[in-house]
Amino acid sequence: MVQTLSDIKSLLEANGLHPKKRLGQNFLHDGNKMRAILEAAAIEPGQTVLEVGAGTGALTEHLLEAGAKVVAVEMDEDMWPILDVRLAGWPDQYTLIEGDVLSSKHTLNPEVLAALGEGSFGMVANLPYNVASPLLVNLFCEKDVLMEQAVVMLQREVADRLVAKPNTRAYGPLGILIGAMCQIEMVCTLSAGCFWPQPQVGSAVVKLVKRAEPLTDEPLVLAEFLRVLFSKRRKQLGSILGRDGSWPKGITPDMRPQVLPIEQLIALQKMRG
């Protein structure tokens, strides 16, 4: 059963709590959108799933009911007792990591990695907006992290950057880097009314499935190359990289970074990076 808005408010009130703006707490209470997330994730019994920002356990309960082995991460200590009570019926399927999923911007929390184990896993989460981009980069680009897919709710602006096409305003390093590692699709968009309290920005759910053969085997090298290029995106490639030397087929020094598709940017990085 989906936690209704009344359920969520009652849980917080019973514990003397209110949503914390500093933690970006906006609780999803729209049952249709919750079902869309679960359908896109297509959870199989026994599958290991990472959930970041478990909150009151609304999504966690559905993942457990589907038979997933859930590693839930929650940094708000006030939510820990609520989760312990709500999820007490699944002691063998549920692990709570009390803290941040990242130990730094570029490093995953070792406790989270240890709980996930050495096998592959998926992620299903309503991601806090401030952690979404660095977390996706870490999970999909670190060689020792075996995440196969993610179905995540994000700020609409971040989702648009992930699915952006060349020569559009949203096209840039994040979408290119993740696109080199994953197939990406937009699942649905969400209005502010789907949440309590209502956020000031729109949201969207995206599904990311890791490519069987990523387009690059050096994602962190590509990331730095993209940072350099797109920090000067209005300049011609020749002005950024120098006009001398060879250029990949189909690329000329008078082009600008944002017109190149992912494959050409990777070819350019390998030749000129």
DSSP conformation letters of 82-139 = HHHHHTTT-TTTEEEEES-SEEETTEE-HHHHHHH-SS-EEEEEE--TTTHHHHHHHH
* Nearest C-alpha neighbor of 168 from the set 261, 32, 54, 50: 261
Q: What is the pLDDT of residue 12?
A: 97
107: β partners: 104
At 18, list the tokens. Answer: 């209110």
pLDDT, averaged per 10 consecutive residues of the chain (273 residues), comes to 88 96 91 95 97 96 96 97 95 96 92 96 91 95 94 96 97 98 98 95 97 96 97 95 94 97 98 90
What is the rounded CA–CA span in Å between residue 208 and residue 59?
18
Q: What is the pLDDT of residue 69?
A: 98
What is the rounded CA–CA span in Å between residue 247 and residue 238?
10
Compute the radius of gyration of the chain from its Cα atoms.
20
What is the rounded CA–CA span in Å between residue 27 and residue 199?
10
Give the CATH number of domain 219-272; options: 1.10.10.10, 2.40.50.100, 3.40.50.150, 1.10.8.100: 1.10.8.100
Pairing of strands 102-104, 107-108: antiparallel
Q: What is the pLDDT of residue 143?
A: 86
Does domain 5-210 bear CATH number 1.10.760.10?
no
What is the rounded CA–CA span in Å between residue 125 and residue 34?
11
| Domain residue spans of the chain | 5-210, 219-272
